[in-house]
A and B are shown apart, each in its own frame.
Chain A
Amino acid sequence: MKGLILLSVAIAIIPLFLVVANVVVEGLPAISSGFFTGIPPSPLAGYGGILNGIEGSLLMVGMGTLIAVPLGVGAGIYFSEWPESRLSFLSSFTNDVLAEFPTIVIGLFVYALVVAPTRTFSAVAGALALAIIELPIIARTTEESLKIVPITLREASMALGIPRWKTIFRVVISTGKSGLATGILLGIARATGETAPLIVTAGYLNYPPTGLFQQTGSIPYIIYNFGTAGYPNWITVAWGAALVLVAFMLILNLSVKFFIGRKSTGVRAEI
């Protein structure tokens, strides 16, 4: 029986291992210091760099996260602390639907909302699409991490004559903050890897971002665009960009593990 379980674990891990190995093998030739400072090459002219993608992704994920964090954390606090309210039930349900929404549809929504009226693909439109994608993830993880804060701590605080909002901000959130951080990192990881919504909102620029209402490149777009082109050097650029993205995801996920590890010791200490 144990053998069967180990076998299925191996089968589950092998594809992941193969993907990562493949990305490393294919992408490594493109990686040099220039890959982080240059711009994508012309056909058959070396590997260049993906600075436009790195800066574009940082810009759009950064702005998107700045929009999504206050809204998502706020919504999560509301879902967790006022679960009996009808608005909480309704918006929590909406949040679940939004979390499962096809991201291309979110992209098209932002296209209609921002791209069409401004008549240009832009970093702002891309950031807005990413914010909508991050929002439900952050709201849900905030809710979950605050709900596991023991009710006895809230009561201890209220019994000291500390008002409810201060109890929430200074006791509940402070106890659940590693969960909050985890949610934000998960949101960032999700947004960083999104491609489809950026195609219809941010478009592409072969140079680092020139303005918030200009077309803006991103790492996933480079993978999509160069990976499907016919030139061998462009395909290696796409692999290199994929390697950078995977490495970034790995770092984010390790940070999440770090925060979750701290959370569990926190719970142990409390018992």
Chain B
Amino acid sequence: MSLPASLIGVQPKFETKGLKAGFKSTWVLNGIDIKIPPNRVTAVMGPSGCGKTTFVRCLNRLHELTPGAVVEGEALLDGEDIYDRNTDPVAVRRRIGMVFQKPNPFPTMSIYHNVVAGLALNGERNKKKLDHAAEQSLRGAYLWDEVKDKLTDSGASLSGGQQQRLCIARALAVEPEVILMDEPCSALDPTATAKIEELITQLKKDYTIIIVTHNMQQASRVADYTTFFYLGKMIEFGETADLFENPKEELTERYITGKFG
């Protein structure tokens, strides 16, 4: 598959080679070869069951936590295989943050402790560092002004959209290089969705973002590049506008014109 002209010569942040994943006897992903550019938003799109969620869960080695899960192939982060025998999955996950479909703040923790959980539970005790990280991350997630006076409230007391931004702040606090987002707006109303989308376009200055979405409008609003998955295969990868206006594959065209999916 040819690379979009804008990516020729660009060192990919993430690259997978023949990435296969599934459960026991069934493959959900049938060999994905993709190059994800740094500091850009890449959308992974496709109908339900196409393997897009499994794909991002392979990129932070979360897939393997499900009983019976299997993974084959390579996933190179800055050229290094995160599935290398000597690579510690815990260390990989610190470099790759994740935001889930449904907001999932820790219900027993305050807003503050939710944000610094990744640092505090990894042994950071310095109060000043934690305070600084909490403020920076909440500012980064555009949540600071809304919660700065109630940091000790339960994270569960926030609205759905705020909870999701809290989860983004929580991911930012451990200073990852890549942020995976698995349909981060699917449980949110349009206003909250708009806020998250605005946030995503800001975050790409500092992070490489991979967002799973089944919403084509969302992909065209936030993503620089879009890839279309179907039945565990990557059908097409291109600049978002290009892919929507001039799809090269018939399957892509049928999907974006609403003929299936």
Report A's interface with B, CB cutoff 8 A. 83-84, 150, 152-163, 166-167, 170-171, 174-175, 177, 266, 269-270
Contacts and interface: CB of A to CB of B under 8 A. Distances in A.
A170 B62 contact: no
A159 B90 contact: no
B121 A162 contact: yes
Interface of B: 60, 62, 65, 67, 90-95, 97-98, 100, 102, 104-109, 117-118, 121-122, 154, 156-157, 167, 170-171, 174
Given A156-B167, A159-B60, A170-B121, 8 more contacts: A159-B93, A160-B121, A161-B90, A166-B121, A167-B121, A174-B109, A175-B106, A175-B107
A157 B157 contact: no
The interface centre, meaning the residue of B62, B67, B121, B171 with most chain A CB atoms within 10 A of its CB, is B121
Nearest to B68: A84
Nearest to A169: B121
A156 B174 contact: no
A84 B174 CA distance: 31
25 contacts: A153-B107, A155-B100, A156-B100, A156-B170, A157-B106, A159-B60, A159-B93, A159-B171, A160-B117, A160-B171, A161-B93, A161-B95, A161-B122, A162-B90, A162-B117, A162-B121, A162-B122, A163-B90, A166-B122, A174-B106, A174-B108, A175-B106, A177-B108, A266-B107, A269-B156
Nearest to A160: B118
Contacts of B94: 160-161
A83 to B, nearest CB: 8
A222 to B, nearest CB: 42
Contacts of A84: 67
B156 A157 contact: no
Contacts of A167: 121
Contacts of B97: 159-160
B75 to A, nearest CB: 15
B174 A160 contact: yes
Query: Do most interface residues of chain A lie in helix, strand or loop, or is the interface mixed?
Result: helix
A235 to B, nearest CB: 50
A174 B67 CA distance: 23
Given A159-B93, A160-B93, A150 B170 contact: no
Nearest to B114: A156
B156 A161 contact: no
Given A157-B117, A159-B97, A161-B93, A175 B62 contact: no
B81 to A, nearest CB: 18
A145 B62 CA distance: 24
Contacts of A174: 106, 108-109
A83 B104 CA distance: 23
**List of 9 A-B pairs having minimum Cβ-Cβ separation, nearest first:** A161-B94, A160-B118, A269-B156, A159-B98, A270-B107, A161-B93, A152-B104, A156-B104, A162-B121
A162 B167 CA distance: 15
Contact of B108 (A150, A156, A266): A266
A175 B108 contact: yes
A163 B92 CA distance: 11
Nearest to B157: A269
Contact of B118 (A153, A162, A175, A177): A162
A175 B106 CA distance: 8
Contact of B170 (A160, A175, A177): A160
Quick one: which of B106, B122, B167 has the most chain A CB within 10 A? B106
A96 B2 CA distance: 60
Contact of B104 (A153, A162, A177): A153
B158 to A, nearest CB: 10
B247 to A, nearest CB: 33
A152 B164 CA distance: 13
Q: Which of A156, A171, A177 has the most CB of B within 10 A?
A: A156
A150 B122 contact: no
B107 A269 contact: yes
